[in-house]
Chain A
């Protein structure tokens, strides 16, 4: 029997509190070994890791690349796989490869196969895909079952057809289907981070509100602690609540630190929407067990009659190249916004002599207004600035042409009152122009209404 079958049978036979080890909130950036090993020593019933997020922006999703390095990702996967196999407990990984589309999932699965082969491990692995079939989306769109999130404009058929990748966040029902198949490892494409941990206890009748709330906290490892950090965290769940304990003795889960974590990256600290329902935290309670463990209770789950899947998609918008340079002349800095604006016109006249203006060019002057939404009036000018020119063009060559032209003409631009006639820019290195490859933007951030929230997520099982 494999790990999920064993643990399901064991808890059904002998009902007891369950332990969950949140090994990493972002697998692939390193998992601190001492805390992870301390977690293994506590004999968790499941080890879970989240691998992805939408925070990293559209390019990874569009391009099908991981945000983490292959070396560090392989090291982390190896660590959690060995840990789970040593205890014979399920290893559940969600949002494989940073963005959870086919390319990310396949790369993660390939690493798991390599590790199994190299280390002589054998196990049963479920692989769940999260790519949304385009014909299904076109049909859903026609039927009015796709709704923009947070004022996102309505989805067009062109968006559906032309997106490089569109994924849906699978929920608990997909993980439960895998756990029921008697597996040791689950690798899921884009997934709700809560489903990684909440699927198993809810199959065993633990209250869904508590299970999902626990999952929401431990998917970020020890981030809910003071001081927050990346170390593994252990949660022990019973029918009335759960206890959180960081596996790094220096991190304390206090009632306030845990309560505060529930608002992290959420626009509403009291409600978490999931495919199959909503988590209601209005009556959640947080108590100290001792100075580094907190007990949490009171969360309530409301099933929905209208399941939804949150979708994310990215579309290619061109090739990106940037120019990186500094400046320290007070007169140049004082006029910098005007200079880059005039330079953009000058460059356009040069590079569009025999071609259309088929690119966008933006300058950002760090030190002046590179970072902030709003700049206070009458701010004192900085002593030096960093200038970034960014071009997005149809081809890599065109983007490169634009920023290289910018470099030369900005270096020698003759502004009002110029004294430093040998050059306006300080380059930290040359070439100061960098081609960054294809650029994407999110063109899908929508909810898909459907009867069965598990339907779009096909699963394969392989034995290694």
Chain B
């Protein structure tokens, strides 16, 4: 099953102008646990999808919010010449197809 079929929210946004944060949120504890315990959502997977090394990926499980947070460094600081998404709000698409 794809992540987009399990998650209630899959979103991206800046956390400050130099970090991108990806939030995956679930409607039930069962869905959260299923993904949190799955080997699919790892620093390696995210690194491969976003073409960064796994060391640059931080994954933070946040059970009280039934959510998993991923933090990446932005390659271009928000608003710098060459930036293509100042708010970082459209960088979530690579997550949608992750097979859980």
Q: Which residues of A contact B (CB under 8 A)?
A: 54-59, 149-152, 256, 259-269, 284-286, 317, 360, 362, 364, 370-374, 392, 439-442, 445
The answer to whether B64 and A441 touch across the interface, beta carbons within 8 angstroms, is no
CA distance A360 to B84 in the complex (A): 15
Is B78 touching A256 in the complex (CB atoms < 8 A)?
no
Which B residues touch A364, using CB under 8 A?
84
What residues of B have a CB within 8 angstroms of the CB of A372 in the complex? 84, 90-91, 93-94
Judge whether B39 is part of the interface by a CB distance below 8 angstroms. Answer: no
Q: Would you list 16 pairs from A and B whose C-beta atoms are within 8 A, ordered by A residue? A: A54-B78, A55-B13, A55-B14, A58-B79, A256-B66, A259-B64, A263-B67, A266-B15, A266-B21, A267-B21, A284-B64, A364-B84, A372-B94, A441-B77, A441-B81, A442-B78
Which residues of chain B from 26 to 72 have any CB-CB distance to chain A below 8 Å in the complex? 49-51, 58, 60, 62, 64-67, 69, 71
Count A/B pairs, Cβ under 8 Å. Answer: 108
* Interfacial chain B residues near A442, Cβ < 8 Å: 17, 77-80
Q: Which residues of A contact B14 (CB under 8 A)?
A: 55, 265
The answer to whether B78 and A265 have CB atoms under 8 Å apart is no
Report the Cα distance A22→B82, complex, angstroms: 36
- Give Cα A264 to B13, complex, Å: 8
Q: Is B18 an interface residue (CB 8 A)?
A: yes
Please tell me which one of the listed residues B16, B51, B62, B67 contacts residue A149 in the complex, with CB atoms under 8 A apart. Answer: B16
B81 touches A317 (CB 8 A): yes
Whether A263 contacts B17 in the complex (CB less than 8 A), given A57-B86, A371-B84, A371-B85, comes out as: no
Nearest to B13 among chain A residues (CB) is A265
Complex: A360 Cα to B73 Cα, angstroms = 24
Among B18, B50, B62, B65, which residue has its beta carbon within 8 angstroms of that of A150?
Answer: B18
Expressed in whole angstroms, the Cα–Cα distance for A261 and B11 within the complex equals: 13
* Chain B neighbourhood of A439, CB < 8 A: 81
Besides the known contacts A55-B13, A262-B65, 14 further A-B residue pairs in the complex with CB atoms under 8 A apart: A56-B86, A57-B79, A59-B79, A149-B18, A150-B16, A256-B66, A263-B21, A265-B13, A267-B16, A268-B60, A371-B90, A373-B94, A440-B79, A441-B77
> Which residues of A lie under 8 Å from residue B69 when comparing CB positions?
263, 269
Whether B60 lies near A269 (C-beta < 8 A) is yes
Contact pick for B79, options A264, A284, A441, CB 8 Å = A441
Contacts A54-B16, A150-B18, A372-B91 given: A286-B79 contact, CB under 8 Å? no
Complex alpha-carbon distance, A341 and B25, angstroms: 41
Contact with A along B83-100 (1 / 0, CB 8 A): 011110011011000000
A268, B90: Cα distance in complex, Å: 20
The 7 tightest CB contacts between A and B, nearest first, are A57-B79, A260-B65, A150-B18, A267-B15, A259-B65, A58-B79, A259-B64
Could you tell me if B73 and A150 are in contact, using CB atoms closer than 8 angstroms? yes
Distance of A357 Cα from B18 Cα, bound (Å):
29
Q: Are A256 and B65 in contact (CB under 8 A)?
A: yes
Bound complex: CA A362 to CA B64 (Å)? 44
Q: Which residues of A contact B66 (CB under 8 A)?
A: 256, 259-260
From B13, B58, B65, B84, name the one whose CB has the most chain A CB atoms within 10 angstroms. Answer: B65
Closest chain A residue to B68 by CB distance? A263
Given the complex of chains A and B, what is the CA–CA distance between A338 and B78 in angstroms? 27
In the docked arrangement, what's the CA distance between A267 and B12, Å? 11
CB distance from A451 to the nearest CB of B (A): 25
Q: Report the minimal beta-carbon distance from B38 to chain A, rounded to whole angstroms.
A: 20
Contact between B21 and A55 (Cβ–Cβ < 8 Å)?
no
CB proximity of B61 to chain A, nearest CB, Å: 10
A285 to B65, CA, bound (A): 10
Task: Kindly name the residue among A56, A260, A439 whose own CB sees the greatest number of chain B CB atoms within 10 A.
Answer: A260
Hey, which chain B residues are within 8 Å of A152, CB to CB?
18
A392-B81, A440-B79 known; A373-B64 Cβ under 8 A:
no
Alpha-carbon distance between A369 and B49 when the two chains are bound, in angstroms: 15
Nearest chain B CB to A418's CB is how many angstroms away?
28
